[in-house]
Structure 1
Amino acid sequence: MDVHRLLQAIVKSDEPSVLATIIDVNGHSYRKPGACMLFKLDGEQIGTVSPGCLEQDLLERTERVWLSGEGQYEIAQYNMKPEEDAIWGESFGCGGEIRVLLEPVKGTLRERLIEAAAIVSGGRSVTMERRLIDSDITYRLRERANDTVEPIRLTEIDNVPDRLFFTIRPRPRLVLFGVGNDSEAIYSIARNAGFQLVMADWRTGICSRERFPEAQCVIGSPSEIAEQLALNGSDYLIICSHQLQQDKELLGIALPLGLAYIGIMGSKKRIRMLFETFLMPSNVRAPIGLSIGADGPYEIAVSVVAELIAVRAGRSERARGGAKSDGHFGHLFGSWPQQADGSAQAGIGADAGDSARQNGASCASAVQR
């Protein structure tokens, strides 16, 4: 679940709702600290914090949390370890301890979330600080540089969090150059994977908002497209027009810009032709996609989006100074690295870890004294 969609739902509607955020994980879990979802009192749910293990119990708490009033909160604790808790462990078997913060989305919290949505939609990162004092909670926003990353540290007073930081970064921009079956399939998957999509082509008739309603559509030559978009180091670019000269022109423009990712669609022979006058830097993936034996546009799109997630995750891990994973694959129900004191630690932002399994959410939270 992309946290930006949750924020959009809050902006669009003031219906009574409760925000649930994972603030601590010890052991294995389906979602990581910072994963959040919205419970509306009319029964609608937006997002997930588990594969279905916790939602019903959280739902039963929402009316009480909503009626508790502005500035109140509740922390739900779940022990999913099979050797310690027969109900949660043997019934669901997720194997970890999880704490979830529940807050009524009203008053100051709603105002701050709406303000945060506006800041992030403007391309800037924002941190909301929660301060927990007894049974009350207060909120403060501060903008951040997009390349600034804080670690998650869990310290408490008498087992109760003291301060909680929740940082939301803009969705990274993914530019698909060349509209065709391949880019259409990638668009259909990537739009739900936390990217801000741009469809780019020199052909007006096939690149339109009617065809791609969740993307920005840009028309022009490769140089015009690059100028309109002001491509930069945080952008992801997939070159897939299958027109050799068009692809080569955009590639020549993009290579010196140090983009986060450049993926090239095509055979090895075609890639050699594209790079006959260029050196291939480390941010280029050619051929594109993880090697999963994909065949056809939609299977290839799965491998491509999986690679995008892994690259996005690795950038955040390196920004935090963390160790790189030695591969893209790992356990889906992985946990954050454990610190000497047993607390979970991870980085904040839209990205996480070098392996795709470490990317818990588009946002992350931190508790610290």
Structure 2
Amino acid sequence: MRHHIYHILKTWFPQKDVGQWLLATIISTRGSAYRKAGAMMLFSDTGDQFGVVSGGCLESDLFHHARKCWMTNTSRTVTYDMQEEGDVAWRLGIGCGGEVTLLLQPVSEHNDYLCLPQVLDALETNQAVSVCHRLDNSKAQIHIGDKPDSEDWFCHSVSPPNTVFIAGGGVDAVPVAQIAHTLGWQTAVNDERARYARAGDFPSSCACLAHPVAELKEQTAYQQAQAMIVMHHQVEMDARFLASVAAFPPPYLKYLCLLGPMHRTERVLSQAGIAVEELPVPLQSPAGFNVGGDLPESIALSILSQAHAALYDKPYAQSSSDWQCDSIQ
């Protein structure tokens, strides 16, 4: 189960009328906590749990509170204080040392499913949405948009999953797509060459494309990409792709990398006829953090770790310029 709210809602939506459902949302934290305010998950009365609000230590107790919400058809707030010896969180042996408060809300047709289908619609079209939860325990209600004129609301922004575009569909692109899938990212791989980017080699969630570079600027996967990984292992193809990125920069792009050592990158840029400053974001080459290892899986891990840091505004510049082997051509 992937735990981004988009994947949670995609899994829940076909089952929304099967049994009773409850939405649990973290509305505040103090000190150490596994997840922060805005994290959400869904429970059903049959025992289904989609998403996480802790490392698995609170969910069983939350289910007991969920039953009370279903019986009374009302919301309730629950606080777990990991510092207080008399609190249930202490007895559960969590030991995080912080405090977490959650809002529990029944979800049903009678309250328009708390607008969760509309949230899903927005995420499917790559739109962020502001979600406001009514804190009055007498009524479960969610409002989408600006905060209502009342203090009794908890509001947070819900963003679509991260998106990555892999330019080049060789064997080492497969672990990149697999790790991205595990992270819950929306992934596309493109390679116009025959026998590359074959759907059977990649996770089912990965869009496998075969567009010529000249057509990519019109493709949704290209336009929505936040991270781009260039790994054709062919200088001329890498050059054409980077020239396209320079000429038609994707509007959401935050991370761009090119496999191979610096001398190869210089050849690629020369053939593309561009300077590195013409690219919309800094080009990371060699790609990824120096985590050691030279297998495709290790390189995929290093690249996606660096991309992850970039997408979450953490430091991601490569400190060593020579960790990828010179045999990458």
2:52 to 33, 38, 48: 48
CA contact (8 A) 2:77 2:137 kept: no
Aligned equivalent of 2:326: none
Aligned equivalent of 2:274: 278
1:19-38 aligned at under 5 Å gives the runs 19-38=23-42
Kindly state the Cα deviation for residue 140 of structure 1 after the two structures are TM-superposed.
Answer: 2.1
What TM-score does the superposition give when structure 2 sets the normalisation length? 0.82
1:61 to 61, 65, 75: 65
Kindly state the Cα deviation for residue 60 of structure 1 after the two structures are TM-superposed.
Answer: 2.1
Deviates more, 1:112-121 or 1:205-214: 205-214
Relative to 1, partners in 2 of residues 1:112 and 1:208: Cα closer, same or farther, differing over 3 Å?
farther
1:206-221 aligned at under 5 Å gives the runs 206-212=196-202, 213-221=204-212
Q: Percent identity?
A: 27
2:255 to 233, 258, 261: 261
Runs ≥4 in structure 1, deviation > 3 angstroms? 83-90, 208-212, 229-234, 325-328
Aligned equivalent of 2:97: 95
Kindly state the Cα deviation for residue 5 of structure 1 after the two structures are TM-superposed.
Answer: 0.8
Aligned equivalent of 1:289: 288
CA contact (8 A) 1:191 1:214 kept: yes
1:73 to 68, 75, 95: 75
CA contact (8 A) 1:10 1:110 kept: no
Relative to 1, partners in 2 of residues 1:121 and 1:86: Cα closer, same or farther, differing over 3 Å?
closer
Residue type at the aligned position of 2:183: A
Deviations for 1:270-306, whole angstroms, at most 9, x for unmatched residues?
2222233433345321111122223311122222222
- In 2, Cα distance between the equivalents of 1:294 and 1:25? 38
2:106 to 96, 100, 104: 104
- In 1, Cα distance between the equivalents of 2:238 and 2:126? 28
Deviates more, 1:222-231 or 1:5-14: 222-231
The answer on 1:235 being equivalent to 2:212 is no
Secondary structure of the structure 1 residue equivalent to 2:219: helix
Aligned equivalent of 1:184: 174
- In 2, Cα distance between the equivalents of 1:198 and 1:327? 23
Aligned equivalent of 1:162: 152
CA contact (8 A) 1:222 1:250 kept: yes
The answer on 1:136 being equivalent to 2:146 is no
CA contact (8 A) 2:13 2:117 kept: yes
Deviations for 1:282-336, whole angstroms, at most 9, x for unmatched residues?
532111112222331112222222222211111xxxxxxxxxx6679xxxxxxxx
Kindly state the Cα deviation for residue 20 of structure 1 after the two structures are TM-superposed.
Answer: 1.3
- In 2, Cα distance between the equivalents of 1:312 and 1:272? 26
Ranked by relative contact order (alpha carbons within 8 Å, sequence separation 6 or more), the top structure is: 1
Deviations for 1:176-225, whole angstroms, at most 9, x for unmatched residues?
11112221101101113242111101124332444432022221222222
Secondary structure of the structure 1 residue equivalent to 2:291: coil
Kindly state the Cα deviation for residue 86 of structure 1 after the two structures are TM-superposed.
Answer: 7.5
CA contact (8 A) 1:125 1:167 kept: yes
Kindly state the Cα deviation for residue 240 of structure 1 after the two structures are TM-superposed.
Answer: 0.7
Deviations for 1:132-172, whole angstroms, at most 9, x for unmatched residues?
33522332223x9xxxxx9xxxxxx9xxx711124222223
1:4-15 aligned at under 5 Å gives the runs 4-14=6-16, 15=18
Aligned equivalent of 1:224: 215
Deviations for 1:42-89, whole angstroms, at most 9, x for unmatched residues?
1122221111221111122222222322xx2111101112x7557634
CA contact (8 A) 1:65 1:74 kept: yes
CA contact (8 A) 2:188 2:221 kept: no
Gaps of 5+ in 2: 318-329
Relative to 1, partners in 2 of residues 1:293 and 1:86: Cα closer, same or farther, differing over 3 Å?
farther
CA contact (8 A) 2:306 2:316 kept: no
Residue type at the aligned position of 2:144: L
Aligned equivalent of 2:311: 312
CA contact (8 A) 2:76 2:103 kept: yes
CA contact (8 A) 1:218 1:225 kept: no
Kindly state the Cα deviation for residue 112 of structure 1 after the two structures are TM-superposed.
Answer: 1.0
- In 1, Cα distance between the equivalents of 2:309 and 2:222? 21
